Amino acid sequence: MANNLVPDLSDRQYLGNRTIPRQRFRHQESLNAATSDWLIVPAGIGDLMVSLTPTSGSARVEFTQAPIEDIRAGTVNTGTPWPDGDVSSATQKLMMNAVSAIRCVASGECQWTVTA
């Protein structure tokens, strides 16, 4: 399965403000010893801020550059771990959008957030 990173509909700051040309995107999810579905990152979005907050165990972010069709078909089973590897405390990372999708892999309870 896969989800899409979608606009944060509560973000209205960009309306009428020339310095903020577009609406922000946001995804937030809680996991408990699970691997999230892939989160497909739309083309044209620049950097992503990814935050992991494990409350037990550890967690990591994985990314893929696989074709979107393969991600949606559920045939992409492995991803490349982010440079920080498994983390056991709150960690934030600015990632370049040069990937098709990202996901979180948690060994315990974790909240992950992606904004763009």
Segment 30-39, tens digit of pLDDT: 999 999 999 9
| pLDDT surpassing 80 at residue 90 | yes
pLDDT at 13 (0 to 100): 64
pLDDT digits (tens, 9 = 90+) for 7-51: 777 766 666 666 666 678 899 999 999 999 999 999 888 889 999
Rounded to whole angstroms, the Cα distance separating 2 from 40 reads 7
pLDDT band at 97 (very low <50, low <70, confident <90, very high): confident
Cβ neighbours of 99 (radius 10 Å): 17
Q: How far apart are CA 35 and CA 1, in angstroms?
A: 11
Does residue 91 register a pLDDT over 80?
yes
